Every structure is written in C-alpha cells, then in structure tokens.
Amino acid sequence: MAASSASRSCLFLAGLVLILLSLSSLTSLANEAESDESVFSSGATQQQLHVAPAKPTRYLLYDINPGEGFNLRRDVYMRIANLVKALNEVEPWILVLPPWGRLYHWKSRGLNQLKIPWSTFFEVLSLSYHIPVIEYEDYIKVTGEPQIDLVYHLQNYAEGWTDGKWEEKIDERDCIDNQLYKKNSDGKYRGWFWGYSKTYANEFKCLSVQAMAGQMLPILTKNTSVRSVFLDRAEKLLHDRFSSPAYWSARRSLRFAKHLRDIGDEFRRINLDSNDEKDKTEVIDDWREMRKEPNSAIGGPYIAAHLRRQDYARNNRKDVPSLQNAAEHLKKLLKKHKLKKLFISTDAPKFEIKELKDHLTGYEVYNYVPPKAVLENFMDGGVAIIDQWICAHARYFIGTGTSTFSFRIHEERQILGFDPKMTYNRFCGDGESDSCDQPTVWNIQW
C-alpha cells in the first residue's frame, strides 16, 4: 500500500511539473507574440505571427433618391454590395438591407407599401452567399436600438466638373441642398429613415462625390471608426467595373424569392405550356454552383414583351411605339418563330391592354393579373417580379429601350442560359426606323 501510495504521489508530481512547464511555455509564447519583432522559425523559413484582438463588426446602411424606381435600386444594391465585399477584406462589415417602400410606380390603392423587408422580394440567404447581410429590423435587435452613428449625405460638387472633365474624387464639403435629415433639440439627427420614426443618427456630414463605390473604402476604414455608417443618396456612387466578375457575382446573388418564382412558374404551366424541364431552365439552389452555357435554354413556347406606357410613353415618345405599331411588330415575331402565345408585361391601363389585345386577334395574349391575396401579401413589387420571371422564361423576349425593368430581364435570361439574340431586343419607337439600335449585349463574366 505504501509503495502504491508513493507511486501515485510521484505520478501526481510529474503531472504537475508538466502542467507548469506547459503554462510557462504558453506564457512565453504569448509574450513573444505581443512583440512586433517576434518570429517563428521552421528550417530556413521565417513566419511572423501577430496576435491582436478581433476587430468589432461594423455596419453599412444606405438609401437612394426617393424618386428612383425598383430596378435601379437593385442596381445600386450591387454597387454597395461589392463595396462591402471589399471592406470585408480589411475588417468585418455587414450590409444592412434598406427596407422597401413608397416607390413612384407602386400605385395600388389600399396597400401599406412601407417598411417592406427584402425577404418579401428576394432570397436573403442567397444574398448572404456573396456578402454578410441583415434586415434593418434585425439590425435594431442586434444593436439594441434604432441608432446610426454617422450619416454621410452624398452630393454632387457645387462647381461641377473641373474644366469640363470628369475626375474621380471625394471631399467633405458644406451641404449644398436641403436635407431630409435635421438636427433636433436633443442633438440627434432625425429624418425619413425608411419610415422608422424612432430611428436617429448621432452625426451628419456631406460628401461631394464623383467616384466609383470602391473609393469609399479608405473613408470608411480610415476616416471614421464609428460602428455604423449610413450612405444617403448612394446612387451617386458608380460601379467599380460594370459587367465584371464581381458585378455578376452580386447580380447572380440577387435571386427572386421562391414564393414569387413559384407563382410565376404556376402561371407558365397553366397558361403558357411552359415548365423548367421542357424549357431547359432549371435552377440550382445555390447560385454559386450554377453555370449555364449560353444557348442552353430553350424557353417556353411563347413570346414575352415588356411594353412601358404611362409616364414613359409621355416622356419618351420618339422611342416608344404606338399600341398598333407594337402589335404589328409582335405579329411579325410570332409568325417568324411559329408561336401562337404572347405574354405582355406592361404598366398600361386596362383600356390600353384591351386595345392591344384587339390588335392581336387570332393569338393567345396573356398578362398577369394578381389575385387579391397575392397583391396584399407581396404588393406591387412582388407582382413586378412575377412579371419579370415569366418574361425571363419565354422563347423570345422583346423589351422597351433604356428601361431598367427590361434590362433586369436581359440579365435574368443570361443567367438562365438563353441565346442573347433571343433576349437583347427592343421595340422601335414611332419616331425611329424599323432597324433601330438594339440593346448592348452584356455577357456574364465568371
């Protein structure tokens, strides 16, 4: 028993010595790591190890000129998303998705189209495959209050271009126009903030900008260290490289919400004899794994047309065809492609849609009219996406020149693998020749 007890005592002491030696080594290692001079050697190779505390996560918020439409806002998202992508190479940033609401073209009555989360229209998980994102109301929960540390209002230069030349630059300047954000008696800046009346900012500055979005990186990482920064009028910042691989990664991540795609798919199946298997337009859940070859998609047995009317017809009369001329052109396309079905996406009033259909007697002409439940749940933005999704699956698509609604359909069809010749087409206006210039083709860059 005595020998056994002595043996256990020796083992205990030996273990204690090993623990103390290990702690001593770790302490020594940590002390060396704190020194900028320290190195770890392995043979002839030396690697310097710097140990520093993890950097806190920062948040970037943004908004756009209230007058801009749904599809331009999607474009600005891509610019800001790739800015956040670059910021994350320096330190951790999360993009706060600006709630949707109060857009000019959303005119349905009786709907509270305000404070709409991105998940209503897009797959937020898909966005997160490109950059870290968070909905605004989740941002409030995470940070504990509806507070923004700093607002940068982006504006033009008061003097315009220097010597008539555009040059890239950003400067802090006095504000040159009336702001939506005002300092209250409590010292906080309050304003629109997507309709959230309790949201406020602690600081407000104006930046004159003439630059690509990436030029904000040093300002956000070196000129300020606050936790949250809000870029107001973010449309002032341009794409760093339009149609680059980074552009297309951001664009491909902007995947429509599945509940909206499902509605569009059902409409295709019932009315247009169209489904993904026959049309060769299958979608993979993770867009990063999806790479369709050009011309691989066939599309459903119908032509889709986006025909802008209302303000566009009033303000761009040279570029917009009359309803009769649009119908005549569509007849030629239907005969050329030996198709009998036509899907029309338009903002035209009901009487103009009827007139257009009257000009197309002998063909099956469809447009999507949302049931009450769809309109109430997904609002005008969701209905527009359903229209775009149906257009994106047609055998042939023709759009309206310079319309961002049509341009987004071009991109969607590129992603699905359609022939550009069956995609990049537009109506010629009554003030143009029948051989008017067609849209520029922007191929996906991988």
Is-catalytic flag, 68?
Answer: yes
194 near 101, Cβ under 8 Å?
yes
C-alpha triplet 391, 376, 198: angle, nearest 5°: 115
Within 8 A by CB and 6+ apart from 122, the residues are: 254, 255, 256, 257
Distances (CA, A) of 419 to 263, 296, 411, 413: 25, 8, 12, 8
3-state secondary structure of 268: helix
Which of 32, 34, 37, 68 is flagged as catalytic? 68
Distance CA 274, CA 14 (A): 77
Distance CA 69, CA 106 (A): 9
- Which H helix or E strand runs over 389? helix 372-392
- Which H helix or E strand runs over 155? strand 147-155
Residue 431: CB atoms within 10 A of its CB come to 12
Looking at residue 425, the DSSP 8-state letter turns out to be -
Distance CA 276, CA 83 (A): 34
232 near 153, Cβ under 8 Å?
yes
* SS3 per residue for 299-320: CEEEEEEEECCHHHHHHCHHHC
The token pair that represents 376 in the structure block: 């109430």
Catalytic positions are: 68
